[in-house]
Amino acid sequence: MFNQQQSSKRLLTVAGLAWLFDAMDVGMLSFIIAALKPEWHLSEVQMGWIGSVSSIGMAVGAITFGILADRYGRKDVLIITLLFFSVGTGLSALTTGYTLFLVLRFFVGAGLGGELPVASTLVSENVPVAKRGRTVVLLESFWAGGWLVAALVSYFVIPTWGWRIALLGSALTAFYALYLRYGLHESQAYVQRELGKRPALGAAIADLWKKPYVKATLMLWIVWFMVVFSYYGMFLWLPSVLVLKGFSMINSFGYTLIMTLAQLPGYFVAAWLVEKLGRRWVLALFLLGTALSALSFGNATSLSVLLISGMLLSFFNLGAWGTLYAYSPEQYPLVIRGTGTGIAAGVGRIGGILGPIMVGSLIAKGVSFTVIFGIFCVAIIIAVLAILTLGQETMGQTLDTTVHNA
């Protein structure tokens, strides 16, 4: 038991640091977008496309690397995704034009989009059943750590040294990817699987829509789409929204840092509740809190209300993200787990493409933040309804015997 606990903690730390580095890049991107606007004279629509092209890459990466993880193993695919991310980030720091920056952000997004579902699958397959949900939510908590580092770097580095230095620092994660080659072990469940049980690509995708899994697949696709649509629409624009509300860029960075701090307790509370109330109810409750916080943030007229609603938005939204990553791999058996989780995340990234573009387009047309954040509120409510009507509880179930009898 002691060795198993030690192994689980080490796996959580090793995979969590990879998660932190990816979150640091996404977090810095929101600040970099705000910094690029005056330097490259970008319109709101162009700013929206920077976030959206990253999500296009994340959609491609989640689907592609999720499928590859079922065919070639979780560990090696995880390392490849980190290298995609690291090299792309380093090269994007050297660009001098908008178009090439977009191209490189696509490759960065592909690595990021692939890393997240593959890492959550790897961790969920290697921890005890009783702690599986909590461990995966804690894995997601490293995302908040990455955002916190991003906010600190953006607050202290970007205004003084520029956004390129910040990106070059993020690119150093390539060295961590090399360390993972020796510091990380393949999923034991995957190793023990007979090669004869490895399905063809078409068969694996078709299995997602077979009767035992059709409700789970439909539910995950709806929830992932709505959650990612709202998250990237809101959080990638957060520093820019504060600037557009009249705050200086340096103050908006500082206020975003304060809001980011609320992510960590959100994860920890969700991690505790997920093994008490179950995945389904925790996910629904935290998403409902996200919807109400988004509505409050969009209607905020004072700094105090803006900060409080922004902190609640971070608390509930990131707690929901952690629960979703714990819930998703539990919907499928081993043979299609990476494929099912990766494609669901890929469908979500389509929402991540549309969210930032929608915000930029609506701001350019003079639409109020009340309406914009109201749209996100409605999207999240749709996700809650999908969970309550289509989702089934998976707490305490052995992964390979989690079957939905529809």
pLDDT tens digits, residue range 14-28?
778 877 887 788 778
pLDDT at residue 306 is higher than 50: yes
Q: Mean pLDDT across the stretch 213-236?
A: 90
pLDDT at 213 over 50: yes
Residue 168 to residue 187: CA distance in whole angstroms: 32
Q: What is the pLDDT of residues 56-113, one digit of tens each?
A: 888 888 888 888 887 777 778 888 888 888 888 889 989 888 999 999 999 988 988 8
Of all residues in the chain, the percent with pLDDT exceeding 70 is 85
Three-state DSSP class for residue 162: coil
Phi-psi region of 236 (alpha: psi -120 to 50; beta: other; left: phi over 0): alpha
Chain-centroid distance, C-alpha 2: 31
Q: What is the pLDDT of residue 7?
A: 67
More confident residue, 289 or 181: 289
pLDDT digits (tens, 9 = 90+) for 134-189: 887 788 778 778 877 887 887 788 888 888 888 888 787 767 766 765 666 666 66
Highest mean pLDDT (candidates 127-131, 248-252, 323-327): 323-327
Q: Is 342 helix (H, G, I), strand (E, B) or coil?
A: helix
Nearest to 263 by CA among 59, 31, 85, 23: 23
Band of residue 326 on the pLDDT scale cut at 50, 70, 90: confident
Q: Is 59 helix (H, G, I), strand (E, B) or coil?
A: helix
Place of tokens 């490849």: 80
Predicted confidence band at 6 (pLDDT cuts at 50, 70, 90)? Answer: very low
Per 3-state DSSP, what percentage of the chain is helix, strand, and coil (rounded to 5)?
Answer: 85, 0, 15
The residue ranking higher by pLDDT, 388 or 211, is: 388
pTM of the model: 0.75
Contact between 63 and 342 (Cβ < 8 Å): yes
pLDDT given at position 3: 44
Decide if 133 contacts 15 (C-beta within 8 A): no
Compute the distance between CA of residue 342 and CA of residue 346 in angstroms, rounded to an integer. 6
| AA letter at 86 | S
- Cα(201)–Cα(358) distance, rounded to whole angstroms? 34
Q: Output the pLDDT for position 4.
A: 47
Over the stretch 103-130, which tens digit does the pLDDT of each residue have? 999 998 898 888 878 887 788 777 777 7
DSSP, residue by residue, 186-234: --HHHHHS-GGG---HHHHHHHTTSTTTHHHHHHHHHHHHHHHHHHHHH
**pLDDT, tens digit (0-9, with 9 covering 90-100), for 251-265:** 676 777 778 788 888
- Domain 7-181+208-401: CATH superfamily is MFS general substrate transporter like domains (1.20.1250.20)
Compute the mean pLDDT over every residue in the chain, rounded to the nearest whole number. 81
Residue 195 has pLDDT above 60, yes or no: no
> Per-residue confidence at 268, pLDDT binned at 50, 70, 90?
confident
Average pLDDT over residues 4-21: 72
